[in-house]
Structure 1
Amino acid sequence: MAYGFDTLQIHAGARPDPATGARQVPIYQTTAYVFRDAEHAAALFNLQEVGYIYSRLTNPTVAALQERVATLEGGAGAVCCSSGHAAQIMALFPLMGPGLNVVVSTRLYGGSITQFSQTIKRFGWSARFVDFDDTDAIEAAIDKDTRAVFCESIANPGGYITDLDAISAIADKAGLPLIVDNTSATPYLCRPIEHGATLVVHSMTKFLTGNGTVTGGVVVDSGQFDWSASGKFPSLSEPEPAYHGLKFHETFGPLAFTFHGIAVGLRDLGMTLNPQAAHYTLMGIETLSLRMQRHCENAERVAGWLEKHEAVEGVTYAGLPSSPWHDRVARICPKGAGGLFTVALKGGYDACVRLVDSLELFSHVANLGDTRSLIIHSASTTHRQLTEEQQVAAGAAPNVVRISIGIEDADDIIADLEQALAKAAG
């Protein structure tokens, strides 16, 4: 039977515990698992049998979460890890090598820009930043050493919506996987695989968990990419020395990337998600659709109010008819434009600082996707490492604050902004 999203967000990956009948997924707080016998252990280590070896690799609580997120995204499988940043490295790890590059959008979370522009150089990888509204520039940036294309579905911080259909067409033409960070949209608002994405990554810390309690990341594999077609992805298509010459794509087919992520990525990088964090995220996902509906309703109302305020220069929310990306909402995010956007103040940098310091209901934190309304001045925090030119390109100019609208009463959110904007203007 084909279940709807609201049913799957509760039931996917969750079955009554066979030993106790426990209805909620237990927290399997264990490091290791007892093998039936020596033959069973050998089969597990040879990847001839699926099971639990050691919690750096696999854990039943984490496995339930992997199945749930993969199901909601429409993927073949998923690998959970310790954070959203870990998920990005995990996604690139089987694809990249020294001298190779990834073509990425300029509209990314500031930490991702730093990770791609600075940190991955230590692996000998490089990133080419392109305005993803300029499809000619994307095609021009791709060369024989490009191994992936990367963007966000709803970009942090500005709430910009990427035309995933156009980007996936370019990636397909080049024979490259498209990796989409779907953190801000969640699979409730956008399912990138349906728009041609090969891999989907999340910082589960944000909307998926939804309560600001734990960090976590996930890589979802569409199972639809032919890793053996071009010879560009030897980690997946060629013999793996650590497993006696096993070829992941030949052996595991649509689950090649997922198995590689566990058997090599988690084994050697060790970016493991702990079972208690997985449990919190499983519980959070149970109410994902309800929360996202309220996030979107509140964001649309608050953004519309802010757009008319005399102290405001502009609002980036794609759900507003005035947004240049408004026409993408119905096609890419048909259930709503999310709860994230930026606000530019006429008073500039100083007014932004006064606004942040004057709010009472809002929390000034380096997070988003919480049930609570959150705010941050990106130019002085999350995007501080960037040049002003990079800040502007990323949608985090000095006169801009990022707002993540929560699920509180919209009237209370507006009232708090109203009193704080009056102080900021003063």
Structure 2
Amino acid sequence: MSEAPSYGFDTLQIHAGAKPDPATGARQTPIYQTTAYVFRDADHAAALFNLQEVGFIYSRLTNPTVAVLQERIATLEGGVGAVCCSSGHAAQIMALFPLMGPGCNVVASTRLYGGTVTQFSQTIKRFGWSAKFVDFDDPEAVAAAIDDDTRAVFGESVANPGGYVTDIRSIADVADAAGVPLIIDNTSATPYLCNPIAHGATLVVHSTTKYLTGNGTVTGGVIVDSGTFDWSANDKFPSLSQPEPAYHGLKFHETFGGLAFTFHGIAIGLRDLGMTMNPQAAHYTLMGIETLSLRMERHCENAKTVAAWLEQDPRVDYVTYAGLPSSPYHDRAKEQYPKGTGGLFTFAVKGGYDACVKLVNSLEIFSHVANLGDTRSLIIHSASTTHRQLTPEQQEAAGAGANVVRVSIGIENADDLIADLDQALSKASS
């Protein structure tokens, strides 16, 4: 869609990146279930392999169905390009891959999904990378944590599980001053509620498994490139600014400009790491995105209603939803997310861990699963599941204490959700 900037979000979520199939006229994007693509001739094949022409070689790298999804998400996020991959965790590694090297570190928020904390604090050590965890409510602490070996700053727009709201602009200013990119995980907010790039983020990652797909059917991830970072401003990012031996000395930033990160993510990241999204997963995610704005409006409406009810219930200690006036993040959320703050939050149950277990086991509509962003309402006790690998101190910092449960509010009838929580809280407090 050449006129994409003039269209509204509701239009772009349906049309961006998609055209009728040239061979059949099919209006819906086909699932291109193929491993490889026929070249026009030998010169065409050579041009593709030399990155002199854009096209399709092999589905580990590029696939027409996935390409439509990449363009659609990039458009909705306000980026110049995107790289889809197999999961949200894959997206995080692929976002860091061109930036990091042995001895380098990433400065990350203390308020992250537990799996991300484990990935950053344990797994990336095997690459010779490290992470420093800092309270993003204190930009000065973030600035102090950045050193000569820092290659990125990483946070979540709306943190999982607690729903804490990151002041993206303040953290972006800190990262800019240090000459490093800010990576924001926008999974919980989605581009409908927040565009981190508009607030200064360099890269945006998603677990497309969650709200973008919206129905709990397939896993996937994506990295969106803002196209605004100067990868050649210093010597910190040689993978993007210096000659690439695998392409006979090609310099990605010099050759591709604002699309340097995107091209590197496909030509090097997907080629060598192989964290590829399959075309059927891309198809399901495209279907989900077509109704993203409608679903997010209902998620936000229901979450605010349920959170307000929980807040006044004497069986509940506190609720973390930023859409409530009592939240310390309420004013920031109104400014950064004028359409709402999503469907994810936590609440603390009086009676501690035992009461949380009774609550989770007594619910009938809520599903007890390790997921979020579904049309269905979901619940989990984070400290014993998604954040189990963390220390008690890390759990508290992330908002996942032993007395806390996380809910992802779906699009069911809000009164039914409240009734389900009411009966389960009664059993939990008995």
* TM-score bracket for this pair, using the shorter chain length: over 0.9
Q: What is the CA–CA distance in structure 2 between the aligned matches of 1:281 and 1:225, rounded to whole Å?
A: 28
**Which residue in the other structure is 2:40 paired with?**
36
Q: What is the CA–CA distance in structure 1 between the aligned matches of 2:221 and 2:306, rounded to whole Å?
A: 29
**Which residue in the other structure is 1:176 paired with?**
180
For residue 22 of structure 1, the aligned residue among 22, 26, 31 is 26
**Which residue in the other structure is 1:100 paired with?**
104
Q: What is the Cα-based RMSD across aligned positions, in Å?
A: 0.4
Q: What is the CA–CA distance in structure 1 between the aligned matches of 2:97 and 2:363, rounded to whole Å?
A: 42
Q: What is the CA–CA distance in structure 1 between the aligned matches of 2:234 and 2:340, rounded to whole Å?
A: 38
**Which residue in the other structure is 2:292 paired with?**
288
Q: What is the CA–CA distance in structure 2 between the aligned matches of 1:147 and 1:409, rounded to whole Å?
A: 45
- Could you report, residue by residue, the CA deviation over 1:17-63 in whole angstroms, capped at 9, with x for unpaired residues? 00000000000000000011111100000000000000000000000
**Which residue in the other structure is 2:212 paired with?**
208
CA displacement at 1:420 relative to structure 2 = 0.3
CA displacement at 1:332 relative to structure 2 = 1.3
Q: What is the CA–CA distance in structure 2 between the aligned matches of 1:40 and 1:87, rounded to whole Å?
A: 30
Corresponding letter in the other structure for 2:359: L
Q: What is the CA–CA distance in structure 1 between the aligned matches of 2:416 and 2:149, rounded to whole Å?
A: 52
CA displacement at 1:231 relative to structure 2 = 1.1
Corresponding letter in the other structure for 1:415: A
User: SS in structure 1 opposite 2:175?
Assistant: helix
**Which residue in the other structure is 1:393 paired with?**
397
Q: What is the CA–CA distance in structure 1 between the aligned matches of 2:349 and 2:112, rounded to whole Å?
A: 21
For residue 170 of structure 2, the aligned residue among 166, 172, 176 is 166
Corresponding letter in the other structure for 1:278: A
**Which residue in the other structure is 2:94 paired with?**
90
**Which residue in the other structure is 1:239 paired with?**
243
CA displacement at 1:156 relative to structure 2 = 0.3
1:404 aligns with 2:408: yes
**Which residue in the other structure is 2:307 paired with?**
303
Corresponding letter in the other structure for 1:83: S
Q: What is the CA–CA distance in structure 1 between the aligned matches of 2:192 and 2:428, rounded to whole Å?
A: 36
CA displacement at 1:339 relative to structure 2 = 0.2
**Which residue in the other structure is 1:315 paired with?**
319
Listed as ranges, the matches of 1:148-163 within 5 Å are 148-163=152-167
Matched residue count: 426
Listed as ranges, the matches of 1:318-333 within 5 Å are 318-333=322-337
CA displacement at 1:184 relative to structure 2 = 0.1
Listed as ranges, the matches of 1:122-137 within 5 Å are 122-137=126-141
User: SS in structure 2 opposite 1:344?
Assistant: strand
For residue 369 of structure 1, the aligned residue among 364, 370, 373 is 373
Corresponding letter in the other structure for 1:411: D
4+ residue stretches of structure 1 with deviation over 3 A? Answer: none
Q: What is the CA–CA distance in structure 2 between the aligned matches of 1:161 and 1:50, rounded to whole Å?
A: 39
Q: What is the CA–CA distance in structure 1 between the aligned matches of 2:283 and 2:426, rounded to whole Å?
A: 42
Q: What is the CA–CA distance in structure 1 between the aligned matches of 2:157 and 2:234, rounded to whole Å?
A: 27
**Which residue in the other structure is 2:68 paired with?**
64
CA displacement at 1:178 relative to structure 2 = 0.2
Listed as ranges, the matches of 1:1-20 within 5 Å are 1=3, 2-20=6-24
Corresponding letter in the other structure for 1:266: L
Q: What is the CA–CA distance in structure 2 between the aligned matches of 1:337 and 1:53, rounded to whole Å?
A: 41
Q: What is the CA–CA distance in structure 2 between the aligned matches of 1:11 and 1:64, rounded to whole Å?
A: 10
- Could you report, residue by residue, the CA deviation over 1:366-400 in whole angstroms, capped at 9, with x for unpaired residues? 00000000000001100011111110001100000
Corresponding letter in the other structure for 2:407: I
Show structure 2 runs of 5+ residues with no match: none
1:50 aligns with 2:54: yes
For residue 197 of structure 2, the aligned residue among 187, 193, 209 is 193
Q: What is the CA–CA distance in structure 1 between the aligned matches of 2:269 and 2:187, rounded to whole Å?
A: 21
CA displacement at 1:260 relative to structure 2 = 0.1
CA displacement at 1:234 relative to structure 2 = 0.3
Q: What is the CA–CA distance in structure 2 between the aligned matches of 1:117 and 1:110, rounded to whole Å?
A: 10
**Which residue in the other structure is 2:388 paired with?**
384
Listed as ranges, the matches of 1:231-270 within 5 Å are 231-270=235-274
- Could you report, residue by residue, the CA deviation over 1:173-203 in whole angstroms, capped at 9, with x for unpaired residues? 1011000000000000000000000000000
Corresponding letter in the other structure for 1:299: A
Q: What is the CA–CA distance in structure 1 between the aligned matches of 2:116 and 2:181, rounded to whole Å?
A: 18
Corresponding letter in the other structure for 1:220: V
CA displacement at 1:346 relative to structure 2 = 1.2
CA displacement at 1:64 relative to structure 2 = 0.1
Corresponding letter in the other structure for 1:190: C
**Which residue in the other structure is 2:116 paired with?**
112
Q: What is the CA–CA distance in structure 2 between the aligned matches of 1:306 and 1:325, rounded to whole Å?
A: 18
Corresponding letter in the other structure for 1:272: T
**Which residue in the other structure is 1:360 paired with?**
364
- Could you report, residue by residue, the CA deviation over 1:84-118 in whole angstroms, capped at 9, with x for unpaired residues? 00000000000000000000000000000000000
For residue 218 of structure 1, the aligned residue among 213, 216, 222 is 222
Q: Using the TM superposition, name which of 381-390 and 199-208 deviates more.
A: 381-390
Q: What is the CA–CA distance in structure 2 between the aligned matches of 1:421 and 1:371, rounded to whole Å?
A: 23
Q: What is the CA–CA distance in structure 2 between the aligned matches of 1:175 and 1:334, rounded to whole Å?
A: 30
Q: What is the CA–CA distance in structure 2 between the aligned matches of 1:11 and 1:135, rounded to whole Å?
A: 39
Q: What is the CA–CA distance in structure 2 between the aligned matches of 1:130 and 1:146, rounded to whole Å?
A: 13
Q: What is the CA–CA distance in structure 2 between the aligned matches of 1:331 and 1:196, rounded to whole Å?
A: 15
- Could you report, residue by residue, the CA deviation over 1:236-258 in whole angstroms, capped at 9, with x for unpaired residues? 00000000000000000010000
Q: What is the CA–CA distance in structure 2 between the aligned matches of 1:419 and 1:308, rounded to whole Å?
A: 16
Corresponding letter in the other structure for 1:409: N
User: SS in structure 1 opposite 2:212?
Assistant: coil
Q: What is the CA–CA distance in structure 2 between the aligned matches of 1:129 and 1:8, rounded to whole Å?
A: 36
Q: What is the CA–CA distance in structure 1 between the aligned matches of 2:282 and 2:108, rounded to whole Å?
A: 29
**Which residue in the other structure is 1:338 paired with?**
342
